[in-house]
């Protein structure tokens, strides 16, 4: 089959237009500062905010994946648009206000503020994997569309699309991403609305295609656990995304940011309707009678069902607009996700963890390099995974299990969580998720939960939700336990608080058996006669509340393990002592 030259030229024109808009938007930056590049100076309004948030969610994986799921399993299993749309509501009520009031720049800021730079930086990895899988899903959707409609090699199309998206993101930061999103969302609307009616009236439906079971699908009794697990994963796993918080934090006011999420939810659901209609049309048509196709369609064709409908069931000029819709969806989501992960790496990993004194120019240089590397990683995955819907589903997996409980607790229970709880939750959640297995990426199930399907090697129990809840409870339990152990003095903070999570409990205890330690400790005290005398062997006794009393001097010093309760008494004949806390 020859390449559809008109369509190819049109795609090139569209890409050049998007690139031009991205470069123009980059000129709106008032300066090259961090907030200006990453958050557009916190100056976006309601309309632009809603459009860019919808465009971020409604990617190629979203519309192609919706059509794929509807074609393969029906409405009940088309969970991505419902789950991700509801995540915008929960995100608005749970996180928008506290995140904005704290004036954060990225999603990782609250973690590093609470747990320190290195431990907080660990949470970058599940966020990175989520973004990379999401970008890969939308790049794969574009590759399949161009291959089917234009007969262009998918490898070439994915590489070209990645280069274009990365190019204008490097140039203009969030300004470029936002304004190209506005252009792209209109292209998506025009393309889908134009193509769907043509496809509907093009070919006769098969008998029984209008039945309720045909379009609704079924959830078997033994699949209820999978269905619940998947929906919860998409709802709450759709919240902890830097791309989402980047838009929330870039809005002018908190009220606008909250209402923006609600409006965007309805927009995302509306955008899924024509995509679902395409899947239903493909499911209802007798493909053996479709000209130039002339064969039965199978589940193996599910990942390319939307481009197949555009190519074989619409006029050639209409399919071009449909392809433009898919391309726009890909570009609108790919650029935002690439910028999101790159922003977290350059700020939270490079600057705050390894190079605290790095200049803004150096950080922006690292940001541009990270954009190129992350785009390359996503492109490689897109070229090696078949199912678009599976990729868009998988991207929320680690985010849901590992990141969501951590974010919920650090934002709403910051005074209670500890670094020990954070690490315990990270290990528990990640371990349970890996041990549960993932057939699609070749990870066998080590733990067989109830209702495990031996034949298909899949878990029918909602094990992802179990892993998420286990991670949350581990965080709460270990945080409470560690706080009680150190603050009650059961464990000495000087010896056991290796992460220095309880600085108020630290006190360099006296060791009479080792003279070098005593000398070292003495050298660190400043004009502290009472404590110095105690270090060289004065008579001391311990009271019932854990205080140490010096009986050999006219002054008595009461030393407790808690800094807040250190007291002393002095006589008028001795030098005024000071308490040295080491």
Contact 322, 87 (CB under 8 A): no
For tokens 């749309």, what's the residue? 85
Give the pLDDT score at 438: 83
The dihedral region occupied by 103, where left means phi > 0, alpha psi between -120 and 50, and beta the remainder, is left
pTM: 0.78
Q: What is the distance between the alpha carbons of residues 415 and 114, in angstroms, rounded to a whole number?
A: 9
Per-residue pLDDT at 406: 95
At 95 the pLDDT is 96
User: What's the sign of the alpha-carbon dihedral 339, 340, 346, 350?
Assistant: negative
Euclidean distance between CA atoms 142 and 320, whole angstroms: 13
Which among 127, 116, 152, 103 has a CA at the least distance from the CA of 5? 152
Query: What element of type H or E holds 549?
Result: strand 548-550
* DSSP secondary structure of 422-489: HHHHHHHHHHHHHHT-BGGGTB--SS--TT-BTTTTB--S-HHHHHHHHHHHHHHHHHHHHHHHHHTT
pLDDT at 383: 83
User: Which pLDDT belongs to residue 34?
Assistant: 66
Domains parsed from the chain with CATH numbers: 5-392 (1.20.1730.10), 415-500 (no CATH)
Q: What is the pLDDT of residue 386?
A: 62
Task: State the 10-residue block means of pLDDT for the chain, 582 residues long.
Answer: 64 76 73 69 87 82 84 88 92 94 91 89 86 80 74 80 79 75 82 86 58 73 91 92 90 92 93 90 84 78 83 82 72 77 89 85 89 89 70 77 95 94 96 88 87 88 95 97 92 88 72 41 40 43 49 46 42 43 40
What pLDDT, on the 0 to 100 scale, is given for residue 579? 42
At 519 the pLDDT is: 39
């Amino acid at each position: 089959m020859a390449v559809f030259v008109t369509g190819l030229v049109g795609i090139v024109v569209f890409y050049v237009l998007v690139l031009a808009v991205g470069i123009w938007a980059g000129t709106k930056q008032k300066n090259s500062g961090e907030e200006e590049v990453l958050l557009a100076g916190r100056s976006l309004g309601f309309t632009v905010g809603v459009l860019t948030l919808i465009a971020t969610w409604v990617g190629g994986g979203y519309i192609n994946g919706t059509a794929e799921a509807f074609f393969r399993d029906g409405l009940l299993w088309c969970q991505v648009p419902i789950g991700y749309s509801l995540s915008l509501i929960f995100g608005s009520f749970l996180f928008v206000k506290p995140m904005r009031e704290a004036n954060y720049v990225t999603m990782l800021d609250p973690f590093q503020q609470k747990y320190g730079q290195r431990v907080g930086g660990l949470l970058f990895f599940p966020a990175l994997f989520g973004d990379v899988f999401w970008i890969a899903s939308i790049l794969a959707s574009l590759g399949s569309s161009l291959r089917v409609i234009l007969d262009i090699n998918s490898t070439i199309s994915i590489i070209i699309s990645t280069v274009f998206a990365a190019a204008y993101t490097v140039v203009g930061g969030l300004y470029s991403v936002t304004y190209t999103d506005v252009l792209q969302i209109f292209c998506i609307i025009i393309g889908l609305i134009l193509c769907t009616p043509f496809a509907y009236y093009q070919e006769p439906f098969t008998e029984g295609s209008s039945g309720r079971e045909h379009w609704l699908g079924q959830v078997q009794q033994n699949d209820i656990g999978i269905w619940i697990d998947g929906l919860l994963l998409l709802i709450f796993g759709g919240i902890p995304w830097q791309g989402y918080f980047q838009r929330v934090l870039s809005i002018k006011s908190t009220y606008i940011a909250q209402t923006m999420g609600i409006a965007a939810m309805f927009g995302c659901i509306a955008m899924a309707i024509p995509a679902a209609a395409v899947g239903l049309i493909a499911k209802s048509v007798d493909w053996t009678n479709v000209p130039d196709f002339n064969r039965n369609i199978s589940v193996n064709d599910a990942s390319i069902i939307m481009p197949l409908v555009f190519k074989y069931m619409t006029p050639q000029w209409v399919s071009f607009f449909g392809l433009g819709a898919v391309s726009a969806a890909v570009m609108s989501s790919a650029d935002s996700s690439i910028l999101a992960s790159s922003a977290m790496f350059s700020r939270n990993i490079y600057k705050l963890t390894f190079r605290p004194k790095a200049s803004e120019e150096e950080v922006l240089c690292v940001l541009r390099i990270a954009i190129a590397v992350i785009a390359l990683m996503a492109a490689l995955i897109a070229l090696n995974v078949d199912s678009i819907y599976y990729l868009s589903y998988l991207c929320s997996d680690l985010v849901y299990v590992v990141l969501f409980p951590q974010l919920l607790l650090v934002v709403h229970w910051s005074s209670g969580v500890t670094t020990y709880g954070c690490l315990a939750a990270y290990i528990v959640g990640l371990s349970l998720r890996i041990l549960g297995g993932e057939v699609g990426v070749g990870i066998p199930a080590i733990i067989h939960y109830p209702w495990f399907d031996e034949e298909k090697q899949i878990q029918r129990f909602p094990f992802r939700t179990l892993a998420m809840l286990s991670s949350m409870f581990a965080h709460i339990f270990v945080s409470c336990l560690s706080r009680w152990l150190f603050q009650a003095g059961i464990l000495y903070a000087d010896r056991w608080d290796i992460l220095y999570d309880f600085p108020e409990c630290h006190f360099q205890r006296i060791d009479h058996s080792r003279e070098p330690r005593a000398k070292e400790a003495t050298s660190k005290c400043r004009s502290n006669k009472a404590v110095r005398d105690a270090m060289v062997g004065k008579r001391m006794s311990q009271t019932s509340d854990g205080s140490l009393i010096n009986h050999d001097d006219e002054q008595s010093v009461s030393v407790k393990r808690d800094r807040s309760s250190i007291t002393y008494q002095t006589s008028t004949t001795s030098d005024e002592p000071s308490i040295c806390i080491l």
